[in-house]
Amino acid sequence: MVHILIADDEPLILDITKTYLEKTSDFTVDTAESAREALEKMQTTTYDAIVSDYQMPEMDGIEFLKTVRGSGSDIPFVIFTGRGREDVVIEALNAGADFYLQKGGQPKAQFAELSHKIRQAVSSKQAKEALIGAHAELDQIFSTAADGMRVVDRDYNVLRVNNTLLDLAGISEDEALGMKCYEAFPGSRCHTDGCPLTRILGGEERVEGEVDKERRDGSRVPCIVTATAFRNPDGEVIGIVEDFKDITELKQAEEDLKKHRKMLDIIEFLPDATFVIDRDGQVIAWNRAMEEMTGVKAEDMIGKGDYEYGVPFYGERRPILIDLVFSGEDELMQKQYSNVQRNGDILIADTTLPRPLGKTEVLMGTASPLYDSSGRVVGAIESIRDITDRKRMEGEIAQSLKEKEVLLKEIHHRVKNNIQVISSLLNLQVKQTTDPSMKEIFREVQNKVKGIALIHEKLYRSENLSEINYGDYLNDISAYILSLPV
């Protein structure tokens, strides 16, 4: 419903007009017998339009109109009067009246025309308000858009620019406005046939492409630029509207993806069983060697989380070495693994797994974090090697060495005893012989046996059987010589 206020000092005219408009149109009509009364009603009631007589006591229709317009209201206002002087019409229109209608003639035609003018004035105001709202909405969209935007005229002048583009280009609004577009935010297509403005003026409706743009500080930023024609109300192309989407992160993501794929290709053909998880613990790589070791295909494991990768090894979901890269729980690691080594952020450890028929399997795991190009931890990788045979051989070698150590001790004991017997026999001969020359021979032989005994003792106690410390040997043999009787 359209709510109308009619002001006229003739009650009969008010009643007739009210009756006709409410019966023939979707109007609700209030009446006032003076401009003052109408102004008072406007204080408490909102109206869609005002119809006013011209000649009224105290305040005529023109003064009433000026008062309404002076308050800042743009409500549709129709002068409906018996006066038809040209000067009154001009004054009314200059004061802001939407229409001026003269009373008289056929009542039906007269009120039909009034109804039409009221509806036309109300519709015009509604359309104007909608247009203003649309412009405000578009202005807000332009100003707050996530992409950089600017308007450029046919002469390459920047007419308007939003805050996102100012930040992207590294310039201020005062700098950008009035500058040439190729100065404010230059790119590789400026001054070429690929220039968006050149192509739009050449007849294209829309131009889109990827281009590197240069910021004020000289740094470059990759953008997807979309340009469309900017037209005046007559449809003439007067410039372009450009949209700049910063794709720096997209480019970095593409580069990371390439590296990721390359890494996965390398992992796939590593000889050791290897898998990778992301920061959420989901498997993103499971190579062929891992398939062979576990019997689990990559398609059955990739994408799984919740420690699913622990099942092939332990028969249950549980944290394994790769998870300790994130948690750093050394105490837990010591309980579950042996031969634990931590080299920076790399973990190396052994674990023994039970197998059927009382057998065991020894696996060595090496786990480390994975980083993206900015140095953030984005996942972890673990390589697992079956070292059961190596451990068995190490055990056999250790047992063999232990047995040889026992044998070596026995040999040392026997040799030491034999040398002692020889030394004692020589000493006995020295005491029993009266021939000085024979005594000298026996003592010389006895000294040589002592030297052999010292070398044997040194070799036995040395960690390296292929050599002895000659300095220590000289000290010991000198001490022995000095202890002999003169």
At 102, is the pLDDT very low, low, confident or very high (cuts 50, 70, 90)? confident
Once rounded to an integer, what is the mean pLDDT over residues 156-170? Answer: 91
Once rounded to an integer, what is the mean pLDDT over residues 23-36? Answer: 91
Give the H or E element holding residue 221. strand 220-231
The pTM is what? 0.47
Once rounded to an integer, what is the mean pLDDT over residues 331-351? Answer: 80
pLDDT, position 229: 93
Q: What angle do CA 435, 440, 442 make, to 5 degrees?
A: 95
> Lowest mean pLDDT: which of 189-198, 270-279, 347-356?
347-356
User: Cβ distance 367 to 359 under 8 Å?
Assistant: no
pLDDT, position 145: 83
Q: What are the tens digits of pLDDT across the range 372-426? A: 877 888 899 999 999 888 888 877 888 887 877 777 777 777 777 777 788 788 7
DSSP string, 413-459: HHHHHHHHHHHHHHHHHHHH---HHHHHHHHHHHHHHHHHHHHHHHH
Q: What are the tens digits of pLDDT across the range 256-300? A: 778 878 888 888 889 999 999 999 999 999 999 999 999 999 999
pLDDT > 90 in the chain, percent:
41
At 454, is the pLDDT very low, low, confident or very high (cuts 50, 70, 90)? confident
pLDDT > 70 in the chain, percent:
89
> Lowest mean pLDDT: which of 65-74, 177-186, 462-471?
462-471
Secondary structure of residue 244 in the 3-state scheme: strand
At 474, is the pLDDT very low, low, confident or very high (cuts 50, 70, 90)? low
More confident residue, 215 or 325: 215
pLDDT, position 196: 94
Give the H or E element holding residue 15. helix 11-24
Mapping DSSP onto H, E and C, the string for 315-367 reads CCCCCCHHHHHHHCCHHHHHHHCEEEEEECCEEEEEEEEECHHHCEEEEEEEE
The structure tokens listed for 359 are 């057998």
How long is the chain? 486
